Structure 1
Amino acid sequence: MARRLRPVGLDFVASAPVRLVHAREITAAPEAVFRALAEDVPGWAEWFPQVVLARPADGGAGREVRLKGGIRCRETILAAREPELYAYRVDVTNAPGVRAIAEEWRLVPAGTGTRVRWTFAAEGSVALRLAVRPFRAAQARAFRDAVTALDRRLGG
């Protein structure tokens, strides 16, 4: 059953009780990575293996995302500053145990490529906090695989 989460702002990414941060350098330029994140929303399903469907919502101010395992999310874009920042919060989801979620993608030039840093920030039940440790390794692999696939997709 889908539930409405607590609306949070961009500052939540730095202050959330649960924060998972992953970073990787890729050969694609920051501008190309930003466009893939912010402008080619349906393309996420092509390079992020956990994403089954992604599409813009609310005239581009939000997104609808479906993940493997049946998780559904309705999101609001918090920031889209080309080429360095793309962030969003989850407004409605069927994921259990969460009260708030925001994610931030920071893009920093690294030579001719990009250092991609993804932060997953959440607040939720004790069960969510206990699940973080085993989830962290799986999320790190998912991020690595996704960013590698994105780099290939962008010609890197």
Structure 2
Amino acid sequence: MTSCRPETVAFTATAPLRVTATREIIAGPDRIFAALADASSWPRWFPGLDQARWTSPEPHGMGSTREVKVGPLRVVEEFIAWEPGVRFGFTFESTNLPGTRAGVELVELLPVTAHRTRVSYTMALEPVGLPARLAPPLKPVMRAAIGRGLAGLDRYLAQGA
């Protein structure tokens, strides 16, 4: 694992590689946030994510850490945004993803009605070396992957989770 440069939420507006997917989900923001905060649920609704587990003790919030595995890739995350019903975000502490200098993921929840929420998921990265040169064609792939994750979250919550 290689250490990453810690970043703030502001990185989502300045990172060299940024992608956002948005979906309206039939659930209130508090219910969506609860699903996001349940690390063990992520593999059930985010395709390709094999494991997500807290590496810091409860209660979880700002400064908490989590490890995520997607196939052979691993990321250790530190939470930099934790506002129940509003936003959920983390910076990369370390990863084995080649050529990743920094990363932030941010999920923002905007109520549309009492039972509908617009969910915006942004992934912001600073790739270096070959990954930086490959970044432009990867944007649609990354956006589609995040979109599948949001669709999975929608289905998961519709099933009563």
Question: How high is the TM-score relative to the length of structure 1?
Answer: 0.91
How many residues end up aligned between the 2 structures? Answer: 153
Q: Single out whichever of 18-27 and 70-79 deviates more from structure 2.
A: 18-27
Calculate the aligned-residue CA RMSD, in Å.
1.4
- 1:126, CA displacement in angstroms? 4.2
Cα distance in structure 1, aligned partners of 2:41 and 2:132: 31
Partner of 1:13: 12
Residues 103 and 125 of structure 2 are in contact (CA less than 8 Å); yes or no, is this contact kept in structure 1?
A: yes
2:126 is aligned with 1:137: no
SS in 1 for 2:158: coil
Residues 68 and 76 of structure 2 are in contact (CA less than 8 Å); yes or no, is this contact kept in structure 1?
A: yes
Q: Single out whichever of 132-141 and 114-123 deviates more from structure 2.
A: 132-141
User: Aligned partner of 1:36: which letter?
Assistant: A
Cα distance in structure 2, aligned partners of 1:101 and 1:86: 14
User: Aligned partner of 1:141: which letter?
Assistant: A
User: Aligned partner of 1:132: which letter?
Assistant: A
Partner of 2:157: 154
Cα distance in structure 1, aligned partners of 2:130 and 2:33: 34
1:51 paired residue among 39, 45, 49:
49
Residues 99 and 132 of structure 2 are in contact (CA less than 8 Å); yes or no, is this contact kept in structure 1?
A: no
Gaps of 5+ in 1: none
Gaps of 5+ in 2: none
Question: How high is the TM-score relative to the length of structure 2?
Answer: 0.89
2:117 paired residue among 114, 117, 123:
114
Q: What whole-Å deviation, never above 9, does each CA across 1:96-135 have from its counterpart, x for those lacking one?
A: 0110001100010122311111111111214223322332
Partner of 2:67: 64
Residues 127 and 135 of structure 2 are in contact (CA less than 8 Å); yes or no, is this contact kept in structure 1?
A: no
Partner of 1:29: 28
SS in 2 for 1:51: coil
Identity %: 33
